[in-house]
């Protein structure tokens, strides 16, 4: 007997999508976005940058290779919800230790399957990211819209996903010591630095500059994270105080924070960049990199001209700024994820550039 739909999605423009529940129960008001990756749902689920977001996967089959212990990007997934066309609850993979649905249930993450994800993704593309209600099938459209109107999306996501105390990674005798400001950092960033001979001291998002300098780091890393970069003025002030005193490398939200600290401005994109297949041109070499991305905001290109920064990379799909640098201050950042796993490895050289800056 065919199962009847038991969960729905209501968008603030009145669209409804009925589907089937998996993962946890519960109602959520979230920002709805899409991701174009064909693989990597475990890394997406555990990426802190998806805090308070309902992620719609464009690839139709999700859950088929299960969940592996070594592939998490954070210890506690903070994604708002996961929406898929077809959910597989019987994975086939020798590394799998449990199903996607069981992990989502444990961490309180609702899932919706069986909807027309192509239609929903095209709606996000055409009309932009917006508020969505993930709720029980019994909720009427009128009640759903009323709940959406009454709710507002939070602005404290970074403080909720950042570490609360200092932690260490890597060998104590490593050649380089990196202080990493955790705004919701993916674990593969730490692994990428450790593999290159770094000891990494991870500090909370609101750690003052003088406290970071007291650690005597060879370089400072600015992590990815969720939300609007202007929601973390403490981190922007810290970075502003660090510029010129130590080499700095930023990724994603860290790229936006570094740009704001230098005097540039940011703005929200219509539907963001999320996926493992975004082409980016390196303006210095002309080389085109295929990149992994996950962000809602971008750095305004015209505002960069009024700062010491220069644009180093641009997105070939929409011309947005994908990288900046100031050679004199030994600082640089990129909007995409060179540590992506799984995903393209075209941009791993950026970690080596950071190492060279610290050698200098």
Question: 89-137, pLDDT tens digit by residue?
Answer: 999 999 999 999 999 999 999 999 999 999 999 999 999 999 999 999 9
In a domain, 2, yes or no: no
Q: Quick: pLDDT tens for 19-28.
A: 999 999 999 9
**Alpha helix ranges (H) inside 128-185:** 141-150, 157-161
Between β-strands 7-11 and 130-136, what pairing exists: parallel, antiparallel or unpaired? antiparallel
- Check whether residue 204 and residue 56 sit in a common domain: no
Rounded Cα–Cα distance for residues 18 and 25 (Å): 15
Measured CA distances, 316 to 126, 203, 266, 287, 290 (Å):
19, 34, 19, 12, 10
- Check whether residue 24 and residue 137 sit in a common domain: yes
pTM over 0.95: yes
- Check whether residue 110 and residue 167 sit in a common domain: no
> Angle formed by the axes of helices 233-242 and 253-261, to 10°?
70
- Check whether residue 111 and residue 131 sit in a common domain: yes
- Check whether residue 224 and residue 336 sit in a common domain: yes
- Check whether residue 141 and residue 166 sit in a common domain: no
Q: Kindly report which listed range (44-53, 89-98, 335-344) carries the lowest average pLDDT score.
A: 335-344
- Check whether residue 121 and residue 218 sit in a common domain: no
In a domain, 200, yes or no: yes
Q: Quick: pLDDT tens for 220-251.
A: 999 999 999 999 999 999 999 999 999 999 99
Give the pLDDT confidence score for residue 2 in this predicted structure: 56
Shortest CA distance to 266 belongs to which of 232, 222, 313?
232
Q: Kindly report which listed range (114-128, 208-222, 338-352) carries the lowest average pLDDT score.
A: 338-352
- Check whether residue 52 and residue 136 sit in a common domain: yes
Output the domain CATH number for residue 250. Answer: 3.40.50.880
Indicate whether 193 pLDDT > 90. yes
Domain boundary among 124, 153, 182: 153
- Check whether residue 226 and residue 302 sit in a common domain: yes
One-character DSSP codes across 117-142: HHHHHHHHHHH--EEEEEEETT--HH
ω before 342 within 30° of 0 (cis)?
yes
Report the number of distinct structural domains present in the chain.
2
- Check whether residue 162 and residue 125 sit in a common domain: no
- Check whether residue 67 and residue 190 sit in a common domain: no
Q: Quick: pLDDT tens for 149-178.
A: 999 999 999 999 999 999 999 999 999 999
Write out the catalytic residue numbers: 252, 337, 339
Residue 160 Cα to chain centre, angstroms: 14
Domain boundary among 153, 180, 196: 153
Cβ proximity of 49 and 224 under 8 Å: yes
Domain that holds residue 255: 158-359
């Amino acid at each position: 007997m065919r199962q009847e739909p038991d969960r729905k999605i209501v968008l603030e423009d009145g669209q409804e999508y009925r589907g089937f529940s998996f993962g946890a129960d519960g109602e959520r008001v979230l920002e709805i976005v899409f991701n174009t990756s064909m693989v990597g749902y475990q890394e997406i689920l555990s990426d802190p940058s998806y805090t308070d977001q309902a992620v719609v996967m464009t690839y139709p089959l999700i859950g088929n290779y299960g969940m592996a212990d070594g592939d998490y990007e954070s210890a506690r997934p903070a994604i708002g919800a996961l929406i898929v066309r077809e959910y597989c609850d019987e994975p086939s993979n020798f590394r799998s230790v449990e199903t996607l649905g069981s992990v989502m249930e444990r961490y309180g993450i609702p899932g919706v399957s069986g909807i027309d994800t192509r239609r929903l993704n095209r709606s996000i593309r055409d009309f932009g990211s917006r508020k969505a209600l993930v709720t029980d099938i019994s909720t009427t459209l009128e009640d759903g819209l009323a709940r959406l109107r009454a709710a507002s999306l939070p602005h404290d996501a970074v403080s909720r996903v950042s570490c609360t105390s200092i932690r260490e990674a890597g060998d104590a005798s490593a050649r380089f010591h990196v202080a990493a400001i955790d705004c919701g950092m993916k674990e593969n960033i730490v692994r990428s630095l450790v593999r290159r001979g770094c000891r990494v001291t991870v500090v909370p998002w609101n750690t003052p500059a003088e406290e970071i300098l007291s650690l005597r780091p060879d370089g400072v890393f600015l992590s990815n994270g969720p939300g609007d970069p202007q929601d973390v003025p403490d981190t922007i002030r810290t970075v502003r105080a660090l510029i010129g005193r130590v080499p700095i490398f930023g990724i994603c939200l860290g790229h936006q924070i570094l740009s704001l600290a230098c005097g540039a401005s940011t703005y929200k994109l219509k539907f963001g960049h999320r996926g493992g297949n975004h082409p980016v041109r390196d303006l210095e070499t002309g080389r085109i990199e295929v990149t992994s991305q996950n962000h809602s905001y971008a750095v305004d290109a015209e505002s960069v001209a009024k700062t010491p920064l220069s644009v180093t990379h641009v997105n070939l799909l929409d011309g947005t700024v994908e990288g900046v640098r100031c050679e004199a201050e030994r600082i640089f950042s990129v909007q995409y994820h060179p540590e992506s796993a799984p995903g393209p490895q075209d941009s791993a050289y950026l970690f080596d550039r950071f190492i060279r800056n610290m050698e200098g």
